[in-house]
Structure 1
Amino acid sequence: MPFITVGTENSAPIDLYYEDHGSGKPVVLIHGFPFNGATWEKETTALLNAGYRTITYDRRGFGNSAQPANGYDYNTFAADLDVLMTELDLRDATIVGHSMGTGEVVRYLANYGSQRASRGVLLSPLQPFLLKTKDNPEGVDKSLFDGFQQAIIKDRFAYLTTFCDAFFNYSENKGKLVSEEAFHAHWQIGAGGSGKGTHDCVSAWLEDFRPDLPKIDVPILIVQGDKDNVLPYPVTGQRLAPMMPTASLVTLKGAPHGIPWTHADDVNKAIMDFMKQPAKARA
């Protein structure tokens, strides 16, 4: 299996597992919490069939990647992505993030610029800033996230069931947009992640991305369902779009958080239509 080393912990390397298929312009897909690159299968098939080079990888702590005890913050995640982009020598890439993966997209473009990436896609984004503070009254009380972490410590596997319920709006979409088997497959993928990584990633969600947004100089596509029960649409995508001059917003009516699975056709069409548009000219 292909791996890229992004650091060390004590005597062991921190290796990221990745898959790199096809040819043509590169598309990098960054998965959501608490899953891994396997959850992109509906997108990778469509992108490969359309002639794109398609790269997925497992975030540190998840899937086949190393599970270190630290590094679960967005500066580190973006640095990990930069190593991947550099090692594979990607150019003119589209970087696509879902949910937690949107943090890598935004922080990478802010910290490392657009030398290797010509556009970004944010699916069910967590930006601009989830935490409720004096200067961010639209945010969510920290007690909610503390409760998530307590639930993960108490019984991570029970928490995963609750999370997958919200991820798919399962009671509403079971047997329609998502099968029982797909629900359990996502649960199983999440169960394979690091317990500490799963816990610590919740803290990363609370990072403030507002300072990153003005630094982004490439076109951005935001796609989100207006029935997102994990990252509510009014707090995230709907609020984010006007804050990004280079962004366009596609709203999927009635769609839940897990749109890469439940609304794959809509997501694939939006991404490929977006990639056909001219990228912003560099200064």
Structure 2
Amino acid sequence: MSSNLQRDRATVARPGFIRTPDGVELFYRDWRPERAPGSEKTIVFVASYSLPSDMWAYQMTPLARAGFRCVAYDRRGHGRSGDPGGGYDYDTLADDLAALIEALDLTAITLVGYSMGGSEAVRYLTRHGSARVARLVLIASTLPMLAKASDNADGIDRASIESFQRDLMTDYPQWLAENARPFAGPRPSQAMIDWVREMALRTSHQALFACNETVSRGDFRNELRDVDVPTLIVQGGRDLSNPLELTSRRTARAIPDARLVVYEGAPHGIFLSDAARLVADIAAFAST
């Protein structure tokens, strides 16, 4: 579990920002409940591909009001964080998460990762260990492996990945406009969908392409066996981005202490379509 963090320490650079050992400033938000400060349980949120920590607003607000300390951050190249021009591999991204946890000296946390963020959370655990993590929540994750291979025949073929990358490099706003409603499902308002699209459009274009390559090449099939904390896995039954049978069902079988909850009929964007139910499930699990 060696990493740069063993040689250099992350620091709080200024209010709302930490500086990683390789010099990148990451924006974070740390919402503490008004009652019983210092005695609350801590939840750390890792955002989806292309989205900043703002995506968690409708989970963090009610959870903080319910007594949890809620911490989230913007991945490098996303939101208010620095755009360093590199470091979008899973090892570096996991080190960024470790930098946040170390700089804020967080312990006994419930670590929540959404989509790509779930893979970053698992790589954090296998690279840095679980000394600071009590529980793991994986939501609509890209785990264990999305891409098609000789030993992953049901995966997404390279042609489909390259098709998205062409859209990304030629007309990403149009791709978002066409795919936002299938992502969110019928329940969220158009205004809510527009809010998410605006966040995605502010993400570094280089980060979008590099992170997509990272996701498409990720293979956690062996790594999942090393997850040694209780794990809650949540996914929509009609997830078109990360199909349930390819991702969460296999992940639940691979992690030793895992429980899968399927939101029947729900899309990939369950943080929008099923926000209240997701809050309740996270709160119940984080309280155990």
Same fold at TM > 0.5: yes
**Contact between 1:118 and 1:218, CA under 8 Å: does it hold in 2?**
yes
For the 8 Å contact 2:43–2:286, the answer to whether it is kept is: no
How far is the alpha carbon of 1:164 from its aligned partner? 1.9
**Mapping of residues 79-90 of structure 1, within 5 Å:** 79-90=95-106
Matches for 1:247-266 after TM superposition, within 5 Å: 247-266=258-277
| Residue 201 of structure 1, aligned match among 186, 211, 214 | 211
Judge conservation of contact 1:47–1:54 (CA < 8 Å) in 2: yes
Aligned-partner Cα distance in 2 for 1:144–1:151: 11
Superposition CA RMSD, Å:
1.2
Q: Residue 134 of structure 2 aligns to a residue in which SS?
A: strand
Q: Mind listing any 5+ residue stretches in structure 1 that lack a counterpart?
A: 278-283
* Uncovered stretches (5+) of structure 2, i.e. residues with no partner: 1-14
Tell me if 1:153 matches 2:169.
Answer: yes
Partner Cα separation in structure 1 for residue 47 and residue 178 of structure 2: 19
User: 1:85 Cα shift?
Assistant: 0.5
TM-score, length-normalised on structure 2? 0.90
Deviation at 1:159, TM superposition (A): 2.2
SS in 1 for 2:20: strand
1:4 aligns with 2:18: yes
3-state secondary structure, aligned to 1:75:
helix
Q: What residue in structure 2 maps to residue 15 of structure 1?
A: 25
Q: Confirm or deny: 8 A CA contact 1:222 1:247 kept in the other structure.
A: yes
Select which of 197, 201, 220 maps to 1:191.
201
Q: 2-side partners of 1:106 and 1:143: how far apart? A: 27
Q: Is 1:178 equivalent to 2:207 in the alignment?
A: no
Give the corresponding residue for 1:243: 254
Letter of the structure 1 residue corresponding to residue 267 of structure 2: P
Matched, 1:165 2:181: yes
Counterpart for residue 232 of structure 1 = 243
**Could you tell me which amino acid in structure 1 is paired with residue 133 of structure 2?**
A
State the alpha-carbon separation in 2 of the partners of residues 264 and 81 from structure 1.
24
- Runs of 4 or more off by more than 4 Å in structure 1? none
Instruction: Check whether the contact 2:118–2:141 (CA below 8 A) recurs between aligned residues.
Output: yes
1:281 alignment partner in structure 2: none
Q: How does 1:89-108 map to 2 (within 5 A)?
A: 89-108=105-124
Aligned to 2:144: 128
Report 1:19-98 matches (<5 A): 19-22=29-32, 23=37, 24-98=40-114
Any conservation in 2 of the 1:131–1:142 contact (CA below 8 Å)? Answer: yes
SS in 2 for 1:249: strand
TM-score, structure 1 as length reference: 0.91
CA-CA distance at 1:193 after TM superposition:
0.4
Tell me the CA shift for residue 7 of structure 1: 4.6
Cα shift at 1:180: 0.7
